[in-house]
């Protein structure tokens, strides 16, 4: 298939269709509105269902319903809308229903503004709603990855019966880059034997999707069951088949200072690394592509060789805490952030690097 | 202008088609086998005096798609000049729509190219194609896309357009390109710096 | 001589004993739902959505697939299920706190979209599961945990009439209010619930049955007294009747 120049938001929509997703429920909010607009047009072409819900709360609960009935289903929003969805995400995680949730992050707290931000890292990687649960969090940094990770996200969510969050930001959502779209995947709605409405001959008992366990022992058993599932997922990303998928390393082997960033920031950091190298500064880049489970191992390994780390985020410092946990005090971890919708320039980051490597 | 990468900011007011102009250049770059990126004006400045987008054409993989120091600014209205003039790389280019922007005290370390885009578009009978006049003009300077690339890419950009519309788009490209060629801006790097002080 | 079986458990009801308080109407209303589904022979393709409230465990009492939704969200969940499996019979079973307070947006918009589902709305003017707090349908002057001086319209508004509200929308095809305070009314309620599911089976649209019910425990009354109180106090505020019947299902039956 030839490359297509697409917006990030549109690439997610097309990739979802190609992944067999036929159900979208959402509510308008900037800067993700191109995605519902794309699917409102595209889904009817493939006999799919697009519903503009009355709220993000309703939308995520429609996702819960469709997911529990066996659909490949998605919703999308931007930060304030994702806050509203947290109730539903908690139920979906508790009932172990697969779905894909896209957050095209904007600035907060509150209404904040519509400009790009990365200030929902904590909300995304710590569950987000009430209760002891996790969502798998994927962090693309290009329009191509917006498409690729949409497909990976559906696969992971079905495999683990767990919600997957695609964590993007306003720049990635709005920008256009060439995309190679994959071949379409035929998804069979009757492939999930646990789903409501499944009618295979092997169905003996009725199916139930629920997150209520009123008995203490039953809930504790369910909580540990979820925890064990999260351990399996963590292993898969730290040493299993998704090990290489989870993190990108760039010129780290001999690096004295390692820059750390995800999403759009990682692209800017790559330019900073190039500029550093031209100036004789041995800089490298770690880009977590998966934010939960966090790629801890790469930091443990590189903390032995690098002298220091500089984490750059469009927030006041959120992922930096996971980096510090991973580096575990072995090397200093510094932070540089811009917020309010300002994307830091390569020059100001380079200036920060200068201050660290040439403190005089 | 480096032959490996061209960073462009395109700016104007709403309705001048600067986002589409950026898309034309980016899509042409993609069809010509280059790496490309396009980012619209977005965020706090969305409701300001200008709409703009950033485009990168590159022979290598594009690391940061953000354009902080453009090689070229294509300005369709006066506020765009005010906003981006100082950001242009020394030795870079300001290509501006002289139908709406008067000569003024410009920087003397950049190449100035004035294109009366509105007038040319009106001569063609459609003021809306002023943006495409600029695309044609830019292709004369670019080391990464050619006029022929623009022409080849056009059908995929205006899918389903009628033949008359395609023809007028092509004519706009051509007029922009020819205008540059006739004025021989190529050879007068700082040709309009003489107007400094006017 | 052979014995004729005149009473048995509907096939759609499970063997799990109800956990409801003595005298509670939920058990009877569950049975009416099960009977309608049996009579329409759709038990093998019915999917229920349980709410938050006393009927949070509704899924335990029926033999078909169930989703347990968040408080008030059952109509949104049911929308997702019905859109995914349009040949299923999908219903929600909700109380007054669930449907008329926290889930007002979801019920109004599911109704307005004309989702081809059935909603059974049990209105007993009080929050049962949480221990007797004021509901949107609590009567003026009625004392509850959170209206200890009686509901005051000046500060807590008036009882909200969901059937009347939903009947103002164009999309719903059947909106009716029933009760089970007498045998005659019970038979009418049974017929209404049957009609609601029948319309869904025929793909006609959104059907809504409000059942005015008692809550002896939280009302602090005996079951028999509760029905008397319901008749004298609730029915004047929540009059029985059919507010919308687009396809004339009641006449055709």
Predicted TM-score (pTM) of this structure: 0.94
The DSSP bridge partners found for residue C144 are C147
Q: Does B39 touch chain A (CB under 8 A)?
A: yes
Question: Measured between beta carbons, which residues in chain A are less than 8 angstroms from residue B5?
Answer: none
Domain membership flag for residue A7? yes
Q: Does C37 touch chain A (CB under 8 A)?
A: no
- SS3 track for C148-207: CCCCCHHHHCCCCCHHHHHHCCCCCCEEEEEECCCHHHHHHHHHHHHHHHHHHHCCCCCE
Domain membership flag for residue A228? no
Who wins on pLDDT, C214 or B109?
Answer: C214
The DSSP bridge partners found for residue C11 are none
Question: Given an 8 Å threshold on Cβ–Cβ distance, is A68 in contact with C77?
Answer: yes
Domain end marker among A147, A176, A191: A191
User: Is residue C216's pLDDT more than 90?
Assistant: yes
Which pLDDT belongs to residue B41? 80
Contact between residue A42 and residue A10 where contact means Cβ atoms under 8 Å apart: no
Do both A260 and A124 map to the same domain?
A: no
Do both A260 and A185 map to the same domain?
A: no
Question: Given an 8 Å threshold on Cβ–Cβ distance, is A171 in contact with B42?
Answer: yes
Do both A267 and A339 map to the same domain?
A: yes
Burial of C165 (0-12, 13-18, 19+ CB in 10 A): middle
Cα torsion angle, A286, A289, A292, A293, sign: negative
- Write the pLDDT tens digit of every residue in A17-46: 999 999 999 999 989 999 999 999 999 999
Distance CA(C75)–CA(C60), nearest Å, equals: 19
Do both A140 and A273 map to the same domain?
A: no
Give the distance from residue A349's alpha carbon to the nearest chain B alpha carbon, in angstroms: 13
- Write the pLDDT tens digit of every residue in C111-128: 999 999 999 999 999 999
Question: Given an 8 Å threshold on Cβ–Cβ distance, is B66 in contact with A176?
Answer: no
Question: Given an 8 Å threshold on Cβ–Cβ distance, is C84 in contact with A23?
Answer: yes
Domain membership flag for residue A225? no
Question: Given an 8 Å threshold on Cβ–Cβ distance, is B40 in contact with A271?
Answer: no
User: Is residue C203's pLDDT more than 70?
Assistant: yes
From the list A116, A117, A120, A114, the residue with the least C-alpha distance to A101 is A120
Mean pLDDT throughout A174-178? Answer: 97
Distance CA(A168)–CA(A8), nearest Å, equals: 9
A169 vs A76, A180, A267, B46, B48, CA distance in Å? 12, 21, 13, 16, 21
Scan residues 125-154 of B and list those with Cβ closer than 8 Å to A.
Answer: none
Which pLDDT belongs to residue B44? 44
Contact between residue A347 and residue B68 where contact means Cβ atoms under 8 Å apart: yes
| Dihedral angle, C-alpha A216, A217, A218, A222, nearest 10 ° | 100
Give the distance from residue A343's alpha carbon to the nearest chain C alpha carbon, in angstroms: 37
* Domain around A279: 248-357
Scan residues 48-87 of C and list those with Cβ closer than 8 Å to A.
Answer: 49-50, 56-57, 59, 63-70, 73, 76-85
Domain membership flag for residue A295? yes
Which pLDDT belongs to residue B49? 58
Question: Given an 8 Å threshold on Cβ–Cβ distance, is C73 in contact with A57?
Answer: yes
- Write the pLDDT tens digit of every residue in C32-63: 999 999 999 999 999 999 999 999 989 999 99
Q: How many CB atoms within 10 Å of residue B159?
A: 6
Give the distance from residue C227's alpha carbon to the nearest chain A alpha carbon, in angstroms: 31
Distance CA(A149)–CA(A15), nearest Å, equals: 9
Question: Given an 8 Å threshold on Cβ–Cβ distance, is A176 in contact with B44?
Answer: no
Nearest to B38 among A113, A176, A345 (CB): A176
Question: Given an 8 Å threshold on Cβ–Cβ distance, is A23 in contact with C83?
Answer: yes
Question: Given an 8 Å threshold on Cβ–Cβ distance, is B42 in contact with A170?
Answer: yes
Question: Given an 8 Å threshold on Cβ–Cβ distance, is B39 in contact with A341?
Answer: no
Question: Given an 8 Å threshold on Cβ–Cβ distance, is B38 in contact with A5?
Answer: yes
Q: How many domains does chain A have?
A: 2
Mean pLDDT throughout A292-304? Answer: 97
Distance CA(A257)–CA(A305), nearest Å, equals: 10
Give the distance from residue A229's alpha carbon to the nearest chain C alpha carbon, in angstroms: 22
Q: Assign C253 a pLDDT band (cuts: 50, 70, 90).
A: low
Domain membership flag for residue A220? no
Which pLDDT belongs to residue C175? 98
Which pLDDT belongs to residue C12? 94
Q: How many CB atoms within 10 Å of residue A325?
A: 13
Q: How many CB atoms within 10 Å of residue A347?
A: 12
Q: Phi/psi of residue C112, each to 5°?
A: -70, -30
Which chains does A contact via 3+ CB–CB distances below 8 A?
A: B, C
Query: What CATH code is carried by the domain that includes residue A276?
Result: 3.40.50.920
Domain membership flag for residue A215? no
Do both A95 and A169 map to the same domain?
A: yes
Do both A55 and A134 map to the same domain?
A: yes
Give the distance from residue A301's alpha carbon to the nearest chain C alpha carbon, in angstroms: 44
Which pLDDT belongs to residue C169? 98
Mean pLDDT throughout A307-321? Answer: 98
User: Is residue C82's pLDDT more than 90?
Assistant: yes
Which pLDDT belongs to residue B197? 35
Query: What CATH code is carried by the domain that includes residue A115?
Result: 3.40.50.970
Residue of C50, C51, C67, C111 to mutate, interface with A, max A Cβ within 10 Å: C67
Which pLDDT belongs to residue B3? 55
Which pLDDT belongs to residue A202? 85
Nearest to A341 among B44, B63, B64 (CB): B44
Question: Measured between beta carbons, which residues in chain B are less than 8 angstroms from residue A176?
Answer: 23, 26, 37-39
Between strands A136-138 and A333-337, the pairing is unpaired
Which chains does C contact via 3+ CB–CB distances below 8 A?
A: A
Length of chain A: 360
Q: Which residues of chain B have pLDDT under 50?
A: 1-2, 43-48, 186-198
Mean pLDDT throughout C121-136? Answer: 95
Question: Given an 8 Å threshold on Cβ–Cβ distance, is A210 in contact with C81?
Answer: no
Beta-carbon pairs below 8 A across chains A and B: 68
Nearest to C67 among A25, A58, A209 (CB): A209
Question: B67: nearest CA in chain A?
Answer: A345
Give the distance from residue B103's alpha carbon to the nearest chain A alpha carbon, in angstroms: 31
Nearest to A65 among C76, C108, C109 (CB): C76
Task: Determine what percent of chain B falls in helix, strand and coil, rounding each to the nearest 5.
Answer: 45, 20, 35
Which pLDDT belongs to residue A251? 98
Question: Given an 8 Å threshold on Cβ–Cβ distance, is A5 in contact with B27?
Answer: yes
Question: Given an 8 Å threshold on Cβ–Cβ distance, is A206 in contact with C64?
Answer: yes
Do both A175 and A82 map to the same domain?
A: yes
Domain membership flag for residue A212? no
Distance CA(A53)–CA(A281), nearest Å, equals: 52
Question: Given an 8 Å threshold on Cβ–Cβ distance, is C47 in contact with A61?
Answer: no
Residue of A61, A70, A99 to mutate, interface with C, max C Cβ within 10 Å: A61
Domain end marker among A191, A207, A226: A191
- Write the pLDDT tens digit of every residue in A195-234: 999 988 888 789 999 999 999 999 999 999 999 999 999 9
Nearest to A178 among B30, B39, B68 (CB): B30
Chains B and A in direct contact, meaning 3 or more beta-carbon pairs closer than 8 angstroms: yes
Which pLDDT belongs to residue A169? 92
- According to CATH, the topology of domain C26-252 is Rossmann fold (3.40.50)
Q: Assign A59 a pLDDT band (cuts: 50, 70, 90).
A: very high
């Amino acid at each position: 298939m030839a490359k297509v120049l697409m917006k990030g938001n549109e690439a997610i929509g097309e990739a979802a269709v190609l992944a067999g997703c036929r159900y979208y429920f959402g509510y308008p909010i900037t800067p993700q509105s191109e995605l519902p607009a794309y699917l409102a047009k595209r889904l009817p072409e493939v006999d799919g269902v697009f519903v503009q819900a009355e709220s993000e709360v309703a939308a995520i609960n429609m996702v819960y319903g469709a997911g529990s009935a066996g659909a490949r289903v998605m919703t999308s929003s931007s930060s304030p809308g994702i806050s509203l969805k947290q109730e539903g995400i908690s139920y979906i995680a508790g009932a172990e229903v697969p779905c894909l949730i896209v957050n095209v992050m904007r600035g907060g707290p509150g209404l904040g503004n519509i400009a790009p931000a990365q200030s929902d890292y904590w909300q995304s990687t710590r569950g987000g709603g009430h209760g002891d649960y996790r969502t798998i969090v994927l962090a693309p940094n290009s329009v191509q990855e917006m498409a690729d990770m949409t497909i990976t996200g559906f696969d992971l969510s079905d495999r683990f019966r767990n919600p997957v969050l695609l964590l993007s930001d306003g720049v990635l959502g709005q920008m256009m880059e060439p995309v190679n779209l994959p071949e379409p995947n035929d998804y069979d709605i009757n492939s999930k034997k646990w789903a409501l409405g499944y009618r295979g001959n092997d169905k003996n008992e009725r199916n139930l999707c629920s997150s209520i366990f009123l008995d203490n022992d039953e809930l504790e058993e369910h909580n540990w069951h979820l925890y064990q599932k999260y351990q399996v997922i963590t292993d898969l990303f730290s040493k299993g088949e998704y090990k290489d998928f989870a993190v990108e390393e760039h010129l780290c082997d001999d690096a004295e200072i390692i820059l750390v960033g995800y999403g759009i920031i990682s692209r800017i950091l790559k330019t900073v690394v190039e500029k550093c190298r031209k100036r004789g500064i041995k800089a490298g880049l770690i880009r977590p592509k998966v934010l939960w489970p966090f790629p801890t191992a790469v930091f443990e390994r590189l903390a032995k060789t690098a002298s220091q780390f500089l984490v750059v985020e469009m927030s006041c410092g959120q992922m930096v805490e996971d980096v510090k946990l991973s580096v575990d005090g072995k090397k200093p971890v510094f932070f540089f952030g811009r917020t309010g919708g300002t994307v830091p320039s390569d020059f100001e980051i380079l200036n920060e690097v200068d201050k660290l490597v040439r403190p005089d | 202008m480096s032959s490996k990468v061209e960073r462009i900011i395109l700016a104007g007011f709403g309705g001048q088609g600067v986002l589409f102009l950026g898309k034309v250049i980016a899509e042409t770059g993609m069809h010509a086998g280059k790496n490309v990126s396009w980012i619209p004006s977005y965020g706090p400045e969305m409701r300001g005096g200008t709409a703009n987008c950033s485009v990168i054409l590159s022979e290598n993989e594009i690391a940061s798609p953000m354009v902080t120091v453009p090689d070229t600014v294509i300005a369709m209205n006066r506020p765009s000049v005010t906003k981006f003039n100082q950001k242009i790389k020394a030795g870079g280019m300001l290509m501006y729509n002289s139908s709406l922007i008067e000569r003024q005290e410009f920087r003397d370390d950049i190449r100035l190219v004035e294109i009366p885009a509105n007038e040319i578009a009106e001569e063609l009978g459609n003021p809306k194609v002023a943006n495409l006049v600029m695309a044609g003009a830019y292709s004369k300077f670019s080391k990464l896309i050619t006029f022929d690339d623009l022409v080849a890419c056009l059908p995929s950009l205006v899918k389903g357009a009628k033949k008359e519309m395609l023809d007028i788009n092509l004519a706009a490209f051509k007029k922009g390109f020819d205008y540059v060629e006739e004025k021989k801006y190529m050879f007068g790097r700082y040709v309009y710096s003489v107007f400094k002080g006017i | 001589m052979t014995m004729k079986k005149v009473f048995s458990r509907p096939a759609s009801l499970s063997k799990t004993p109800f956990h409801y308080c003595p005298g509670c109407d939920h058990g009877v209303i569950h049975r009416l739902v099960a009977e309608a589904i049996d009579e329409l022979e759709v038990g093998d393709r019915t999917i229920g959505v349980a709410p938050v409230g006393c009927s949070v465990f509704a899924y335990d009492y029926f033999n078909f697939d169930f989703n347990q939704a968040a408080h008030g969200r059952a109509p949104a969940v049911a929308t997702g299920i019905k859109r995914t499996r349009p040949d299923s019979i999908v219903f929600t079973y909700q109380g007054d706190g669930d449907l008329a307070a926290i889930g007002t947006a979801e019920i109004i918009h599911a109704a307005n979209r004309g989702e081809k589902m059935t909603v059974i709305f049990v209105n007993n003017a009080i929050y049962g599961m949480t221990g007797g707090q004021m509901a949107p349908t609590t009567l003026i002057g009625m004392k509850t945990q959170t209206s200890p001086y009686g509901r005051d319209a000046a500060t807590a508004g008036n009882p909200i009439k969901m059937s009347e509200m939903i009947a103002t929308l164009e999309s719903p095809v059947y909106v009716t209010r029933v009760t089970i305070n007498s045998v005659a009314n019970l038979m009418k309620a049974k017929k209404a619930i049957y009609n609601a599911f029948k319309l869904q089976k025929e793909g006609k649209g959104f059907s809504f049955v409000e059942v005015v019910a008692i809550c002896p425990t939280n009302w602090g009354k005996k079951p028999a007294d509760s029905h008397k109180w319901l008749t004298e106090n609730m029915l004047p505020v929540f009059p029985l009747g059919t507010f919308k019947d687009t396809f004339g299902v009641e006449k055709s039956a």
